[in-house]
Amino acid sequence: MSLESGLILHKILRHAILLTAATQQEAPRRTSTGGIVPAGAIADHINFDGRPMFYPGSMDPENQGGEPWGTLPSLDNHFYFILMVWHDVKKTGKSAILDKRVGGRTILERMELAYRVPPADKKTGLLKVGLKNRGASFGFTDSVHHTGFLMFGSILKYEAALALADMLVVHGQAKRAAQYTREARLIQRSIPKVFKGPGGWLRASTGQSGQCDAWGTAYAVYTGLLEGAARRKACLALAKACRKDGELAWRGSIRHVPASLQFSEDKCWEKLATPEYEAPCRYQNGAYWNTPTGWVVFAIAQVDKALAARLASAYIAELRTGDFRKGRGFGSPWECMHPDTEYHQNPVYMTSVTCPLAAFKKLGWTAEDTGGRTH
C-alpha cells in the first residue's frame, strides 16, 4: 500500500523483501500460548534482533499467538510480501529477483508458498476462518474478531494473485500466470455476492463482526475489484455517508464502520480482542484514521468530484493545522483521532501520508500531475 506512494527507496524495498524472505517460517510449529505457525507463514513484524513475530500484540518470540489474537498468524502479510516483490519487478523492469535464493528457496517459491498459507474456500477463492483457525484479516482491524468469509484479506489475495500473474508473465511463464489470473477473477466475482450489505456497502465478514466495512468497500473500488452496478452503488454509499459530518468522516479522516451502522451504541464491531479495545471512539472502535482517506476520496470522485475534493482538502487542512513540525503538542499525521476529549495517538504515522498520497496520484491530483495547481 505505502509502496504505491513512490516515497520508499528501492534499496529499502529490496532490503525489506530479503529480510521478510529470510524470516519466513520453514516448518510448522506451535507456540506456548496457543498459536499455530504454518510452514510458509510471513511475519507480522520483525524485532530489531531479527526475530520474526507472526502475531500482533507481542514483541516476545516465545510468547505470541493464540487468543485474543487468533490461532493463525495475521493473514494479510502473506499477500503484502508478494506485492512487495511485484513493486520491485515493476520498478526495475526485471524479474531476476524471483530466482534469488534465500535459505534454500527462491523468492518465487517463497511467494507461492506464502500465497497458500491463509485458509481459503475452493468454490469462491475467498479467505475463510472459524473460531479455531482464526487469523487477522487485515492489520488495521487486528483487534477485531472476524470469522466466516473475510473481505479485506480476500481483496489483498485478489491483488496478490494478479501480481503473481504479472511477474510470471515477465518471467516467461505465461501458462502458470493464467492460473493466478483465474483465481483473481474467481475472487472478483465472489466478493460482491458474498459480502453484499445494505445500500451498496460490503460487509467485513460473514460471521463474527460482519458489520459494513467502509475501508474495505472503498478499497474494493480503489483496486478495481468492484465493477458495474456494484461499484457505482459502493461509491454512492461512501458519498452519502461523507455528506453527514461524523457519520464516516471527520477532518478528512475515516472511521471503520459508518456510525449509523455500527454494532451497538458503543461498539463499531461485534467482537473486539479485549475490553481495552472496546473503549468507544478509540482506535479500531470508532476513531477516525487517515490511512483510508485516499481510497474513500478515490471512490467518491467516481460519482461526486466536488465532494471528493472537499474531503481531500479537509485532510490536507488537518495535516497543516496539526503539523508535527510546529513542536510540542502537535503530531499530525496522527495514526487516528476523535473529537471526544481531543483523542489522538501515534504521531508522524507513515500510512497516514503514503496511502492517501498514492490515491491522489492515481486521481492525478498531485502537484506533479497538475503543474502545481491544487484541488
More confident residue, 342 or 253: 253
For 226-271, the pLDDT digits (tens) are 999 999 999 999 999 999 999 999 999 999 999 999 999 999 999 9
Asked whether residue 279 carries a pLDDT value surpassing 70, the answer given is: yes
Cell (9 digits) for 258: 459508518
Distance of CA 319 to the CA centre of its chain: 22
Looking at the structure, tell me whether residues 29 and 174 fall in a common domain: yes
Asked whether residue 350 carries a pLDDT value surpassing 90, the answer given is: yes
* DSSP β-bridge partners for residue 344: 337
If you compute the radius of gyration of the chain from its CA atoms, what whole number of angstroms results? 20
Asked whether residue 370 carries a pLDDT value surpassing 90, the answer given is: no
Looking at the structure, tell me whether residues 1 and 144 fall in a common domain: yes
What is the three-class DSSP state of 202?
strand
In this prediction, residue 90 has a pLDDT band, given cuts at 50, 70 and 90, of: very high
For 103-161, the pLDDT digits (tens) are 999 999 999 999 999 999 999 999 999 999 999 999 999 999 999 999 999 999 999 99
Q: Which residue has the cell 478499497?
A: 219
Looking at the structure, tell me whether residues 123 and 268 fall in a common domain: no
Q: Does residue 36 form part of some domain?
A: yes
Q: Does residue 19 form part of some domain?
A: yes
Residue type at 241 in one-letter notation:
A
Looking at the structure, tell me whether residues 171 and 288 fall in a common domain: no
Cell (9 digits) for 121: 474456500
For 318-331, the pLDDT digits (tens) are 999 999 999 999 99
Looking at the structure, tell me whether residues 299 and 176 fall in a common domain: no
Query: Averaged over 193-213, what is the pLDDT?
Result: 99
φ, ψ dihedrals at 30, nearest 5° = -110, 145
The rounded distance, in Å, linking the Cα atoms of 180 and 136 is 23
Q: Which domain holds residue 350?
A: 245-375
The rounded distance, in Å, linking the Cα atoms of 87 and 18 is 14
Q: Does residue 220 form part of some domain?
A: no
Residues across the chain:
375
Structurally, how many domains does the chain consist of?
2
The rounded distance, in Å, linking the Cα atoms of 126 and 122 is 8
pLDDT given at position 373: 56
The rounded distance, in Å, linking the Cα atoms of 375 and 371 is 12
The rounded distance, in Å, linking the Cα atoms of 111 and 74 is 16
For 8-67, the pLDDT digits (tens) are 999 999 999 999 999 999 999 999 999 999 999 999 999 999 999 999 988 999 899 999
Q: Does residue 233 form part of some domain?
A: no
pLDDT given at position 277: 96
Looking at the structure, tell me whether residues 36 and 167 fall in a common domain: yes
Q: Does residue 73 form part of some domain?
A: yes
Q: Does residue 264 form part of some domain?
A: yes
Asked whether residue 357 carries a pLDDT value surpassing 80, the answer given is: yes
Looking at the structure, tell me whether residues 136 and 255 fall in a common domain: no
Looking at the structure, tell me whether residues 110 and 36 fall in a common domain: yes
The CATH number linked to 79 is: 1.50.10.10
